[in-house]
Chain A
Amino acid sequence: MDIELLTNILFAMVRTGTPLLLVALGELVCEKSGVLNLGQEGMMLMGAVVGFIAALTTGNLMLGVMMGIMAGMAMACLFGVLAIQLRANQVATGLALTIFGAGLSAYIGTDYVGQGLSGFQPFIVPLLSDIPVLGKVLFSQDALVYLSFIICIVLWLFFKFSRPGLMIKAIGESPYSATAVGLPVIPARWIALLFGGAMAGMGGAYLSLAYTPLWAEGMTAGRGWIGLALVVFASWKVERVLLGAWLFGLASIMHLVLQGMGASISSNLLATLPYLATIVVLVLLSSNQSRSRMLAPMSLGKPYHPAG
């Protein structure tokens, strides 16, 4: 394998991994606070369609991203009203959100199917992009990819060193103990949830504005679910989400690479790799019960009843 092919594969890997990274980071924060939102796919689709329409009608890509983020947050809001305020079952609510988002995005986007726009262009970072291999892979991408790097670093610092990060971890572990020491459980869960919505919306907008600048019904193609799997795969650690996102990105472009090399493996079969990897990791994690419990937020998915 020559160096240029390798560079290209890695470049595509980072690009493919970016929407996964965005949505998984959002869900990671959300789950750290104890909220399990299975509506990622729906939120991404809404982010993708709204972002695309906004960018197409105004001609402003950044505005498109902003609107995509807003759409994701609006969906998260819906989830929050049901699952946080009214304490509905989080799993059921999340599934409903995914189905709802898929239907609504298809409806909104009917008239925009097949239209194209010129999406985000790569921004070549001076000097850094001259580094062999890495320069192309990491520093010749578009603005949203760089943003995903920054968010990743900020979140890592946030959970490692900051007080609000500690608070969110504590709330995800035991909301009742958190109440007893005076932490704002409900507001913190809302913020974490809305951040998750924003990230999913951005991930969706990345797809429709940068990755493949167009809108097609159901264009996320299960990336929301991969994002959810990724959080488990990464055992709720930010740095592992980054690695995992790129690994999953690599897995999903493998079929192109292999075809290019003349191997004939069904692309459908290859597309199952991320899920297989997640199952393997889940089995490895749960083989040691005490360790897996230490990793997952202890009250994940459990509704919180204040004063109860």
Chain B
Amino acid sequence: MPASHAAAPGASQPTETQRRSSENTIKSNTVSPDSFRIRCQNITKAYPGVVANDQISLAIRPGEIHALLGENGAGKSTLMKILYGVTAPDAGNIWFDDQPIALKSPAQARRLGIGMVFQHFSLFETLTVVENIALSLDKQQAGNLKNLAKRIETISSHYGMPVDPHRHVHSLSTGERQRVEIIRCLVQDISLLILDEPTSVLTPQEVSNLFKTLKKLATEGCSLLFISHKLQEVKALCDQATVLRQGKIAGTCDPRTTSTEAMASMMVGNQTTLGKRYRFSTGTKKTHCLEICDLTELSSSEFGTTLKEINLSIQPGEILGIAGVAGNGQKELLRFLSGEDLTSSAESIKLKGKNIGQLTPGKRRKLGVAVVPEERLGRGAVPDMSLSENGLLTGFLQNLIARGFLQRGRIHGYANRVIDQFRVKANGHGADAKSLSGGNLQKFIIGREIIQNPELLICASPTWGVDVGAANIIHEALIDLRDKGAAIIVISEDLDELFQISDRIGALCHGNLSPIKPLQHTSINEVGQWMAGVFDTEFQDEQLHSETPVKEYELS
């Protein structure tokens, strides 16, 4: 068990490691009675209107890194919640170390030795690292804080995850917070670690460090369940994969020998264009649509990032991608561009030569600026209002109001056009925004802006949480809008997406903007360096001229 290993490094369990290397192909449905860390059979869980898990079986051996692959809504998180005791299945059995168990709470799961790293961290910002960890332990396990801090230091150095136990969590970076989450699991004697999309918040460099840690854990006999939809990462890390689609098992495979295309088609079930690079455009080069000059501004929010001398310009007819790990100034940049925060000097932001830095959002919209914020409910849409009303919120210039009166028919028609064109699955234009799934609401919000043909569209994470089919619709709509001559800024954490649609790309790190290069003249590795704050990369890479950049992870 990892915690005991931390005390005595190097002592591994040879039987398990040998077993792992000798049989690395396991079919989840043909289970032999012995030697599984966790095994579940015919897990079924239904929610009103949807069967989230339908007869799911899966088994993980000690020391195995098992991938759970699937699109958003495929049932990954339901299964993970069942395995961690958050929700109870309607039917099905679970064995842990070959003992049948009925998980009733996360506390019980932890006592058994199951740890979980959440996608959205469950840390207390105002407390220190050691206090946070103490809270998740039993009183006896936690002991006094001084000893616990020592244990944290031992574990963090043993697994190569440096973190200072006495720092307050709000002062940590996202990567460091994730380390705290992992260490929090490791200080307990865990033998199964579940990770829910752990790489979604990390830079490529942080990802490769994380993978080193996870590999080390596995060689020491800890089993890992790695939930992801990133195929390259699964290929680089995992011994075994179970693919879910629409609540059912779509297949199992050995990701090391299975091609990403094969896994992708298992995930999506049809031949969708996955990772297709759209045609490039170089802009019309006549004028600048938007110019940002020496934008240096403090964040208006408490733990925000200060923007430092941001300079960029974008021409009509091009898509500028801005990469970066969340919390490096994206939110602030978006707020200053949209007008939610006003710049201290009006000249910082120019739209077609006109200073707009101190114009309010409504005035900017009248000048042809459309914005899609990251948070859908609350900023992108009002949860308790219908789609029609939410459409009107930004579509008020689309001839929906006559002499001060709302034109109901036109408003509904406008919402219906968005719903049809972007294939939003909703119960008509009268459906409440909050009743839509995240992906469908995103399609509606993006659609409502694109349909207005803005001159400048600024959107944050346009396809976050959207399934592949819908993502393609959104991407194609963005490309069409660009070809009509609009300038588009896409702020996203998803590098794959940015490399699919951007014409030029840059990255934000600690509020600084990297150089911006045409996409053909850079690589995913270079952008990764930018995301980590290394801007002066004279990058020599043989992939430079290849058509589609390939992700690489350094693994020892």
User: Chain A's interface: helix, strand, loop or mixed, by majority?
Assistant: helix
The reply to whether B110 and A173 contact each other, CB–CB distance below 8 Å, is no
The reply to whether B124 and A176 contact each other, CB–CB distance below 8 Å, is no
In the complex, A7 Cα to B111 Cα: how many Å?
A: 59
B185 to chain A, nearest CB (A): 11
Question: Which residue of A is nearest B87, CB measured?
Answer: A307
The reply to whether A180 and B122 contact each other, CB–CB distance below 8 Å, is yes
For A305, what are the chain B residues with a Cβ–Cβ distance below 8 Å? none
The reply to whether A294 and B135 contact each other, CB–CB distance below 8 Å, is no
- Mark out the residues of chain A between 164 and 198 whose CB falls within 8 Å of any chain B CB in the assembled complex: 166-167, 169-170, 173-174, 176-178, 180-183
A252 to chain B, nearest CB (A): 33
**Interchain CB contact (< 8 A) of B124 among A163, A173, A182, A289:** A173
**Interchain CB contact (< 8 A) of B136 among A169, A181, A294, A298:** A181
The reply to whether A290 and B303 contact each other, CB–CB distance below 8 Å, is yes
The reply to whether B123 and A177 contact each other, CB–CB distance below 8 Å, is yes
For A293, what are the chain B residues with a Cβ–Cβ distance below 8 Å? 302
Q: Is B107 an interface residue (CB 8 A)?
A: yes
Question: Which residue of B is nearest A293, CB measured?
Answer: B302
The reply to whether B303 and A167 contact each other, CB–CB distance below 8 Å, is no
The reply to whether B127 and A173 contact each other, CB–CB distance below 8 Å, is yes
Chain B contact residues (Cβ within 8 angstroms of A): what range? 20 to 34
A161 to chain B, nearest CB (A): 9
Question: Which residue of B is nearest A292, CB measured?
Answer: B302
Q: Is B125 an interface residue (CB 8 A)?
A: yes
Q: With A180-B118, A181-B122, A182-B107 given, is the CB distance from A163 to B134 under 8 Å?
A: yes
The number of inter-chain residue pairs (CB within 8 angstroms) is 49
The reply to whether B123 and A166 contact each other, CB–CB distance below 8 Å, is no
**Interchain CB contact (< 8 A) of A166 among B121, B122, B134, B303:** B134
Q: Is B142 an interface residue (CB 8 A)?
A: yes
- Mark out the residues of chain A between 275 and 304 whose CB falls within 8 Å of any chain B CB in the assembled complex: 289-290, 293-294, 298
The reply to whether A176 and B125 contact each other, CB–CB distance below 8 Å, is no
For B131, what are the chain A residues with a Cβ–Cβ distance below 8 Å? 166
Q: Is B174 an interface residue (CB 8 A)?
A: no
A124 to chain B, nearest CB (A): 40
Q: Is B403 an interface residue (CB 8 A)?
A: no
Question: Hey, what's the 0/1 contact readout for A242-258 against B, CB within 8 Å counting as 1?
Answer: 00000000000000000
- Mark out the residues of chain A between 138 and 174 whose CB falls within 8 Å of any chain B CB in the assembled complex: 163, 166-167, 169-170, 173-174
For B518, what are the chain A residues with a Cβ–Cβ distance below 8 Å? none
The reply to whether A182 and B105 contact each other, CB–CB distance below 8 Å, is yes
A289 to chain B, nearest CB (A): 6
The reply to whether B302 and A182 contact each other, CB–CB distance below 8 Å, is no
In the complex, A289 Cα to B302 Cα: how many Å?
A: 7
For B125, what are the chain A residues with a Cβ–Cβ distance below 8 Å? 173-174, 298
In the complex, A179 Cα to B285 Cα: how many Å?
A: 54
B118 to chain A, nearest CB (A): 7
In the complex, A289 Cα to B105 Cα: how many Å?
A: 38
B543 to chain A, nearest CB (A): 41
In the complex, A294 Cα to B124 Cα: how many Å?
A: 11
Q: Is B106 an interface residue (CB 8 A)?
A: yes
Question: Which residue of B is nearest A295, CB measured?
Answer: B126
A-B contact pairs, 16 of them (CB 8 A): A163-B134, A169-B124, A169-B127, A170-B127, A170-B135, A176-B122, A177-B122, A177-B124, A180-B122, A181-B122, A181-B135, A182-B136, A290-B302, A293-B302, A294-B126, A298-B126
Query: Which A residues have a C-beta under 8 Å from some C-beta of B?
Result: 163, 166-167, 169-170, 173-174, 176-178, 180-183, 289-290, 293-294, 298
